[in-house]
Amino acid sequence: MFLESDLAHWPRIININLMGVVYGCRYFLPDMVAAGGARHVLNVASTAGIYPAPSMAAYSASKHAINVLTEALKMELVDSDVSFTTVFPGIINTPLAANNSAVSPSVPEAQRAKNQAYYQANGCAPEIVAQDMVRAVQRGSDICLTGPGAALVYHVKRLSLGLLRRLMISKAKQIGYL
């Protein structure tokens, strides 16, 4: 929860999630533009970058920033041969949820274990995300919605923010985030 969160966690999450993408784009894009010919950048955000989940304020803010950064780059480089896809993974079965360095120290061990069990039970394999990313590049897609929940969050947000908020709160209570 935000009110119990460790403020030292924020810069770490911002530096990893957002600044990692910023540095990658800043250092690779000049050479990609100079090389000429079709080039493609995939920036990985998260479904949390479309709409946040409770207890994930820092993560969601950093992933939303990737979405906005990528949109800005699409406009700035519109006259180049570089195209972009913003990737919005949903629930992916990785050990990230249980990784102590990936979550705030204020999240108890029991909650991290519960999160990991949820990701294992409901997440798709990382290989599915990779396949969807390749398809997105092949199709020249602006966005890539991949993994459980991604398309649902994207489309419900477009229909009703209130409904999406209620769904997210309900799911958060179900899995113990609230």
Q: Which domains does the chain have, with CATH numbers?
A: 2-175 (3.40.50.720)
Residue 95 is encoded by which pair of tokens? 């050990």
Would you say how long the chain is, in residues? 178
Q: What is the pLDDT of residues 154-163, one digit of tens each?
A: 999 999 999 9
- Is pLDDT above 80 for 73? yes
CB 141 within 8 A of CB 84: no
Which range among 3-7, 77-81, 95-99 shows the weakest confidence by mean pLDDT? 95-99
Write down the pLDDT at residue 95.
Answer: 74
Active site residues: 59
